[in-house]
Amino acid sequence: MSSKNILLFGLGYHARRIYFPVLLELQKSKRIDHIFIVDLEKERERILDYLVEKQAKNYTILFLDKPHNDKLPPTAIKILNSYDVSGVIISTEPLAHIVYAKWAIKRGLSVLMDKPISSKENVAHDILKAKELITDFEELSVLYEIAKKKNPKICFTIMAQRRFHGVFKAIKNAISEIKEETNCPITSYQSFHGDGQWRFPDEIIEQDYHPYNQGYGKCSHSGYHFFDIASWFLEAGYLKEKTPDNMEVVSNACFPNDFLTQLNYNDYGKLFNNYNPKYTEKEFRDKTKNFGEIDAFNNFSFKKGKDLLTLASINLCHNGFSQRNWVSSIGRDLYKGNGRVRHENYYIAQGPFQSITFNSYQSKEVDPNLQNDLYNVGGEYHLDAFVFRNNKLNPKWKCVQKYCVKDFVPVVMGDKSRGHQEDARREAILAFIDNVVDGNMAIREMSDLTQETLSVKMMSCVYQSLILNKIIKQKI
């Protein structure tokens, strides 16, 4: 069995919860060998403590003095070029994705990169920055095509773990089945995702993890997953004569100033006796006027020419049901340890033939000590999906079919890394390592940069609509 070295850009909260535990598992089985790590100098103590805790041994770490979002300095390039690696995982904040991705793909390395493909400072307020999301994608796609000519077996995968999730794959298959039998595409599509992240005013200003203070927010955080999975599901219903070639997008968002109107300083004072904000309300409003979006509700019309094929809504919330009851987040895991809980649902219709519902509702933070009712409503593994079919029209169809997550997603990840989404992420990582070590290209069928055109355009048009406050028309 051969093994290869992996380079990990970013060992933050998300990578410490997902990527690194799986990489250690792969080291132990001798599937990979050395792990090279790149992160920022300001994270040195936190990262070194974590590596000691995990008893990591076979690694090399490079600390950079500051983020390099536009261009890598020659000294960093020289060091990176000296590393003997076969695959790269990019788990930095979105502003740095493109610079590391371009370096890796120019070297002919397989890449597994967190979503989104890119974001920009002030993307929620600058129309040129919003349009640059498409330009970034197109430039990266050109480099990827050049790299594939030199090494046909490389991959460029986006960590869109729902594509690797058993229930989501079953839903896509159900959509394809009805398309084949009825010639009906998806006619309406609704999704909602709530992060349950209650950010207090001072944190909105100062927090640099999944931040608002750089002019982007929810759509550039977890929001990209839902543009991606929508495009993936829609594709399953495409027919040659029923594939959209343009879309119209209109979006509305809640920004920090709106949020302070919803829940003001007096409200915080009544809820928390020890609440003592660092900034006055005026200072807050002045500082946050160009910050990123907290919530965004987005409507899409997918058309072929002038004719509508699919109406869709993708509604994204940071501000929603949370389990936070403390004032300070200092010392807490900002990824999953600050009161965050997930609510996620979908309703997908294919005309009069089929509708699919999906609901996943957590009520508590991830807690390894909780072992009861994990699959019930509110549990960490809760997921109920139902497929309804018109069996009066076709008696061979089941009128109602339930998809149980237990039957579709094997439980592997443990401790605070557990969860059915996390197990799907593990599947993506394993498929990526299969590509790096064995040249297995199966992962390109599941998630590949070439499949992200619509997702990127959806995200770009959402920001364009927020900025211009109008309907955006876009060829697809």
What pLDDT, on a 0 to 100 scale, did the predictor assign at position 49? 96
Per-residue pLDDT tens over the stretch 391-441 = 999 999 999 999 999 999 888 888 878 889 999 999 999 999 999 999 999
Contact criterion met (CB below 8 Å) for 239 and 323: no
How much is the pLDDT for 333? 84
Which residue ranges make up each domain of the chain? 4-115, 162-417+449-475
Cα–Cα separations (whole angstroms), residue 187 to 95, 302, 306, 313, 329: 35, 9, 15, 12, 43
pLDDT, average across residues 263-272? 96
Give the per-residue pLDDT at 202. Answer: 96
Which of 59, 61, 115 minimizes the C-alpha distance to 91? 115
Q: Distance from CA of residue 123 to its chain's centroid?
A: 17
- Average pLDDT score over residue span 159-180: 98
pLDDT at 99: 97
Does the domain made of 162-417+449-475 have the CATH classification 3.40.50.300? no
In this predicted structure, what is the pLDDT of residue 365? Answer: 84
What local confidence, expressed as pLDDT, does residue 264 receive?
Answer: 96
The sign of the torsion formed by the CA atoms of 20, 23, 28, 33 equals negative
pTM across the whole model: 0.95
Percent of the chain with pLDDT over 90: 89
Average pLDDT taken over every residue of the chain: 95
CA–CA gap between residue 448 and residue 158 (Å, rounded): 6
Residue percentage of the chain with pLDDT more than 70: 100
User: What architecture (CATH level 2) is domain 4-115?
Assistant: 3-Layer(aba) Sandwich (3.40)
The two beta strands, 384-389 and 400-404, are antiparallel
d(CA 117, CA 158): 8
Given a cut of 90, whether residue 234 has pLDDT beyond it is: yes
459 pLDDT exceeds 70? yes
Q: What is the band of 476 on the pLDDT scale with cuts at 50, 70, 90?
A: very high
Among 72-76, 292-296, 361-365, 416-420, where is mean pLDDT lowest? Answer: 416-420
Alpha carbons 64 and 76: distance in angstroms, whole number: 8
Domains 4-115 and 162-417+449-475 agree in fold: no
Is residue 155 within 8 Å of 104, Cβ to Cβ? no
Q: Over the range 311-336, which residues count as b (16 or more CB within 10 Å of their CB) and which as e?
A: ebebbbbbbbbbebeebebeeebbbb
Confidence of residue 2 (pLDDT cuts 50, 70, 90): low
Mean pLDDT, residues 72-89 taken together: 95
